[in-house]
C-alpha cells in the first residue's frame, strides 16, 4: 500500500458558532496544537503524501496557521456552505490529479487514529471503491446508522429517516471516508441536493456507488477517534482524552509520573526513560528531556532542553531557550529564559537567569538577578566555570564573571570580573550605636499622635 498515492481532503470550513470565539473552530488547540493539525498528523501517519485543506470562515487565519503545521498543503475556499460533498468538491483541482486513494476527514476530529485511516486505505487497495469509517458510540441517538447487507454497506441512514428496526443499529457513521481516486469525481458529481436543506451530502455516494455495482464497505474505529468538537466543553473533553493517552504512553516508555492526572504534556514533548515527574507539572511546546531527570512539583516548562540527570523545581519556570546540561540544577521559585546552565551548575532559589550562560559547576545564590533588559534591548551575562555568586546579587548586563570569580552577597555588579577575583558592589556597612532605639521611640510617638488625632475627630 505504501506505493499507492494518497490525497487527504480535510474539511475545515465550519464557522464553529458554538465555540463562541473569533478564532476559527479548528484552530482551537489540543495539547498546544490546533485541532486540525492533529488531523493532518494522523493523515501523514497513515501515508498520505498530499493534503488539501478546505477552508471558509477565517480563511486568512487558516492559511497563516497552515503554514506552520502543514506548509505543503493546498488550501481551497468553500465560498458557500452547501454540504459536505460540496465542500469536498472545493478541492476538485487537487482530486483531479489522479491519486490512488482519497481520504476525507473533518478538521474538528482531533483524536482520529491513524491506524483507522490505514485500514480504510487497505480496503481500497483490496478493491473497494468507497470505505466508510464507522464507530459504536455509547448512545447512537443522533448519529447516522450504517446499513449493511451481506458484508457490504448499502446506505448511511440519518436517524430521522431510520425505521424502528434501523434505530436499534449501534454501528454509526464516524464521518471519515476513503474513496478510490479513479471513482471520486464521478461519484461526487452525481450527488444531488433534493433534500430538506437543499445541500449536497457526501454520504450519498454510498448509495450512488452501490447502484453502479461498485464495492462499498465499512470499517470500524474507536469512539474516541470519531469525537467531534463543537463547543468548549467538548474541547476540554478531547484534551483530557489526549492527555490520558500521552501519560500512559510516557509511563509505558519508562517515565515515572507520581500523579499522572496532574501532569500536562504538549503535542511535541520528548521525555526520556527514568525521568521522574512529580505532581502538577505543565509542559508547553518544545520541551526535550533526557534520561534520569527529576522534575519537581508545580514546575512550568516551555521551549526548554533538559539533559540527563538534571534536577528542576519545585515551582521552577523554564522559558523558551532554557538549556540545562547534565546534572544541572534549577531550584525552587527560579526562572530561566534564553540561557544555558552548564554541567553541574546550580541555580538554587528565588533567582532569575535570562540571556545568560552559567558555567559548569558554578553556584548562583538565592535572589540573584541577571539584569538583561534596559527597556529597549537585551544584553548577555556570562558567568564562568566554578564561579560563586552570593545571594541577592544583581548582575547588570552586559557583564562577564570570570572563571572562579566570587561575587559578594548583596552586590550590584556593573563591570566585568576577572578570573578568580572577588568583587563587592555594595555600600560599606555603617553601624550607629543607640540609633535603633531612637528610631523606635520616634516612630512610636508619631504613630500615637496620629491615632489620637483620628480619635479627636
Torsion of CA 138, 142, 143, 145, to 10 degrees: 100
Angle at the Cα of 141 (from 228 to 171), degrees rounded to 5?
75
Distances (CA, A) of 371 to 261, 354, 381, 392, 412: 38, 8, 8, 12, 10
Phi/psi of residue 132, nearest 5 degrees: -105, 130
Contact indicator for 343, 325 with CB cutoff of 8 Å: yes
Nearest partner of 69 among 27, 112, 114, judged by Cα: 27
Distances (CA, A) of 167 to 161, 175, 179, 432: 9, 18, 27, 92
Helix (H, G, I), strand (E, B) or coil at 448: helix
Contact indicator for 293, 277 with CB cutoff of 8 Å: no
Helix (H, G, I), strand (E, B) or coil at 317: strand
Nearest partner of 108 among 20, 223, 234, 200, judged by Cα: 234
Scanning the structure block, which residue is given the C-alpha cell 489522479?
A: 98
Catalytic positions: 349
Whole-angstrom distance, CA of residue 343 vs CA of residue 204: 63
Q: Within 10 Å of residue 22's Cβ, how many Cβ atoms? A: 7
Task: Categorise residue 150: left if φ over 0, alpha if ψ from -120 to 50, beta otherwise.
Answer: left
Amino acid at each position: 500500500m505504501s506505493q499507492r498515492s494518497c490525497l487527504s481532503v480535510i474539511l475545515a470550513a465550519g464557522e464553529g458558532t458554538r465555540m463562541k470565539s473569533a478564532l476559527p473552530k479548528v484552530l482551537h488547540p489540543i495539547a498546544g496544537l490546533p485541532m486540525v493539525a492533529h488531523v493532518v498528523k494522523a493523515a501523514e501517519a497513515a501515508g498520505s503524501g498530499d493534503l488539501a485543506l478546505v477552508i471558509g470562515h477565517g480563511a486568512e487565519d487558516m492559511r497563516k496557521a497552515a503554514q506552520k503545521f502543514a506548509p505543503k498543503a493546498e488550501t481551497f475556499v468553500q465560498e458557500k456552505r452547501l454540504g459536505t460533498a460540496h465542500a469536498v468538491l472545493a478541492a476538485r483541482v487537487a482530486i483531479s490529479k489522479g491519486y490512488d486513494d482519497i481520504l476525507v476527514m473533518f478538521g474538528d476530529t482531533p483524536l482520529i487514529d491513524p491506524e483507522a485511516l490505514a485500514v480504510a486505505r487497505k480496503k481500497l487497495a483490496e478493491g473497494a471503491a468507497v470505505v466508510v469509517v464507522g464507530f459504536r458510540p455509547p448512545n447512537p441517538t443522533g448519529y447516522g446508522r450504517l446499513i449493511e447487507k451481506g458484508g457490504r454497506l448499502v446506505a448511511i441512514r440519518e436517524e430521522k429517516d431510520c425505521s424502528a428496526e434501523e434505530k436499534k443499529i449501534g454501528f454509526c457513521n464516524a464521518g471519515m471516508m476513503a474513496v478510490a481516486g479513479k471513482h471520486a469525481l464521478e461519484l461526487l458529481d452525481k450527488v444531488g441536493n433534493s433534500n430538506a436543506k437543499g445541500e449536497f451530502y457526501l454520504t450519498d455516494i454510498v448509495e450512488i456507488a452501490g447502484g453502479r455495482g461498485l464495492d462499498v464497505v465499512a470499517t470500524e474505529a474507536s469512539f474516541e477517534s470519531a469525537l467531534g468538537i463543537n463547543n468548549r466543553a467538548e474541547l476540554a473533553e478531547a484534551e483530557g482524552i489526549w492527555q490520558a493517552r500521552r501519560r500512559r504512553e510516557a509511563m509505558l516508555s519508562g517515565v515515572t509520573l507520581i500523579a499522572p492526572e496532574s501532569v500536562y504534556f504538549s503535542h511535541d514533548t520528548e521525555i526520556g526513560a527514568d525521568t521522574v515527574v512529580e505532581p502538577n507539572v505543565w509542559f508547553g511546546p518544545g520541551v526535550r528531556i533526557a534520561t534520569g531527570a527529576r522534575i519537581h512539583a508545580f514546575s512550568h516548562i516551555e521551549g526548554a532542553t533538559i539533559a540527563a540527570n538534571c534536577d528542576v523545581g519545585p515551582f521552577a519556570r523554564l522559558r523558551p531557550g532554557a538549556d540545562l546540561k547534565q546534572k544541572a540544577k534549577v531550584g525552587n521559585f527560579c526562572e530561566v529564559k534564553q540561557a544555558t546552565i552548564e554541567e553541574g551548575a546550580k541555580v538554587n532559589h528565588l533567582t532569575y537567569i535570562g540571556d545568560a550562560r552559567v558555567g559548569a559547576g558554578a553556584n548562583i545564590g538565592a535572589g540573584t538577578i541577571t539584569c538583561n533588559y534596559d527597556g529597549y534591548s537585551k544584553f548577555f551575562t556570562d558567568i564562568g566555570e566554578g564561579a560563586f555568586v552570593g545571594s541577592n546579587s544583581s548582575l547588570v548586563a552586559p557583564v562577564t564573571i570570570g572563571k572562579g570569580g566570587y561575587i559578594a552577597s548583596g552586590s550590584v555588579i556593573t563591570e566585568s570580573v576577572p578570573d578568580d577575583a572577588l568583587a563587592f558592589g555594595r555600600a560599606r556597612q555603617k553601624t550607629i550605636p543607640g540609633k535603633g532605639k531612637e528610631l523606635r521611640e520616634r516612630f512610636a510617638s508619631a504613630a500615637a499622635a496620629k491615632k489620637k488625632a483620628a480619635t479627636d475627630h
